[in-house]
Amino acid sequence: MRIASVASALPEHYFDQLTVQKRLERIWAARPEVVRRLPALFANCGVEGRHFVLPLERYEELSTFGQFNDEWIRCALELGEKAVKLALDRAGLRPQDVDAIFFSTVTGLAAPSLDARLANKIPFRSDIKRVPMFGLGCVAGAAAVSRAADFVRGKRDGVALVLTVELCSLTWQRDDHSLAHIISTGLFGDGATCAVIVGDQRGADGPRIVDTRSVFYPDTEDVMGWRITERGFTLILSPSVPTVARERLGPDVHKFLADHGLKSTDIASWVCHPGGPKVLAAARDSLGITDEDLALSWESLRNAGNLSSASVLLILERTLQKRRPKPGTRGVMLAMGPGFCSELLLLQW
């Protein structure tokens, strides 16, 4: 199985961190205890700017879960279509070549799901297999690639799309003043990514997927996730996330590599979901690698924020474009997310 191409579609609206902070300070002016915390919390996110699907003033015009979700469907469909078309074009494939689409999100709800709505806009075959995936959060980009690899493993001339669309800004709630929500307003951004996964009978010059591994950590369901109420998505974000990453990620990755006779020093490229500064630093320390090894993850966090499931594929796209490893070398793609869990992929370039 190979990753034939990756493409991103980012919204046109881009705001630096200070602009977003000042807007929130005005909105939350009646809560001085919140406003006082914003500068330090925003500075600690490690983000300089992010893409938003709407102009900042538009968010204040939305008040109900339904209104936010309607915007999510409209904007997600637009960005998803762009990402799919660009990824297929880069892979030299047509929509009619696609056998399956694995669609991931955790920031909006739709039934029919977005993949079905896209099938009415993009001329896929009528027998396309659709696999909508909801609830995996930040781990879902890597997990969906793993599931797509499982599919093409059984269909050697197969073509599978992995589409992730996360519009984190549309989970904003004016009346949520919790610490987790305030942090989220400084950390998360919007975007879509699409990867094309093909079987070994199809030509592609992207990395080969050698193996995948899923790791579930029992009794950690309160570490990260959503509590969905009549107001919308309320973030659950425990301070223990960096601790879990530091304690579990390294040992799990090292065991995964050891099963292939490899060590961390044998890995030429690390495609790591950025999480946030503390999570990324914890992953670095646990894996025993350097900031330079994670340079594209740090860059993505700084310039786009945390895009939840879309981030790891955005970093893979940047790896293909800017820091493509030498042929024959090994790489690892990894992410962690609600469950709590991790998803690991061993690549060969």
Q: Say what the pLDDT of residue 296 is.
A: 97
Q: Say what the pLDDT of residue 326 is.
A: 94
Q: Say what the pLDDT of residue 99 is.
A: 98
- What's the CA gap between 163 and 314, in Å, rounded? 11
pLDDT tens profile 242-259 = 999 999 999 999 999 999
Longest Cα–Cα distance of the chain, Å, equals 62
With pLDDT > 90 as the criterion, what percentage of the chain qualifies? Answer: 87
Please compute the mean of the pLDDT values over residues 42-59 and round it to a whole number. 96
Q: Say what the pLDDT of residue 46 is.
A: 95
Residues 132, 88 share a domain: yes
CATH code of 279's domain: 3.40.47.10
pLDDT above 90 (res 234):
no
Residues 179, 44 share a domain: yes
Residues 168, 74 share a domain: yes
Per the domain annotation, does 332 fall within a domain?
yes
Q: Say what the pLDDT of residue 76 is.
A: 98
Its pTM surpasses 0.85: yes
Residues 261, 172 share a domain: no
Instruction: Find the domain containing 335 and state its range.
Output: 208-348
Q: Say what the pLDDT of residue 225 is.
A: 84
pLDDT tens profile 131-157 = 999 989 999 999 999 999 999 998 989
Q: Say what the pLDDT of residue 223 is.
A: 84
pLDDT above 90 (res 230):
no
Per the domain annotation, does 203 fall within a domain?
no
Beta bridge partners of 13: 52
Q: Say what the pLDDT of residue 224 is.
A: 82
pLDDT above 90 (res 128):
yes
Mean pLDDT of the chain: 95
pLDDT above 90 (res 103):
yes
Residues 221, 73 share a domain: no
Q: Say what the pLDDT of residue 44 is.
A: 93
Considering 135, 165, 198, which residue would you say is the last residue of a domain? 198
Q: Say what the pLDDT of residue 346 is.
A: 98
- Stated as kind and residue range, the H or E segment containing 133 is strand 129-134
pLDDT above 90 (res 196):
yes
Give the pair of three-digit tokens for residue 148.
């797509």
pLDDT above 90 (res 227):
no
Per the domain annotation, does 121 fall within a domain?
yes
From 138, 168, 194, 272, active-site residue: 138
Q: Count other C-beta atoms under 10 Å from residue 295's C-beta.
A: 14
- What's the CA gap between 83 and 80, in Å, rounded? 5
Q: Say what the pLDDT of residue 64 is.
A: 93
Count the domains in the chain: 2
Per the domain annotation, does 299 fall within a domain?
yes
Q: Say what the pLDDT of residue 190 is.
A: 98
Per the domain annotation, does 93 fall within a domain?
yes
The string over 31-53, giving b where at least 16 C-beta atoms fall within 10 Å of a residue's C-beta and e elsewhere, is: eeebbebbeebbeebbbebbbbb
Considering 146, 178, 198, which residue would you say is the last residue of a domain? 198
Q: Say what the pLDDT of residue 339 is.
A: 87
Q: Say what the pLDDT of residue 205 is.
A: 86
| Full DSSP string of 255-282 | HHHHTTT--GGGEEEEEE----HHHHHH
Residues 182, 66 share a domain: yes
Q: Say what the pLDDT of residue 21 is.
A: 96
pLDDT tens profile 61-89 = 999 999 999 999 999 999 999 999 999 99
pLDDT class of 229 with cuts at 50, 70, 90: confident
Give the number of C-alpha atoms closer than 13 A to the C-alpha of residue 50, restricted to the C-beta side: 32
Q: Is 138 a catalytic residue?
A: yes
Give the pair of three-digit tokens for residue 282.
């914890």
Give CA separation, 52 vs 122, 205, 259, 307, in Å.
Answer: 25, 33, 42, 11
Residues 313, 283 share a domain: yes
In 92-178, where does DSSP find H-type helix?
114-119, 140-153
pLDDT above 90 (res 237):
no
pLDDT class of 221 with cuts at 50, 70, 90: confident
Please compute the mean of the pLDDT values over residues 14-21 and round it to a whole number. 97
Q: Answer whether 250's CB lies under 8 Å from 288's CB.
A: yes
Residues 338, 230 share a domain: yes
Please compute the mean of the pLDDT values over residues 282-298 and round it to a whole number. 96
Considering 198, 216, 249, which residue would you say is the last residue of a domain? 198
Residues 188, 241 share a domain: no
Residues 246, 112 share a domain: no
pLDDT class of 109 with cuts at 50, 70, 90: very high
Residues 184, 259 share a domain: no
Residues 213, 194 share a domain: no
Per the domain annotation, does 111 fall within a domain?
yes
Q: Say what the pLDDT of residue 142 is.
A: 97
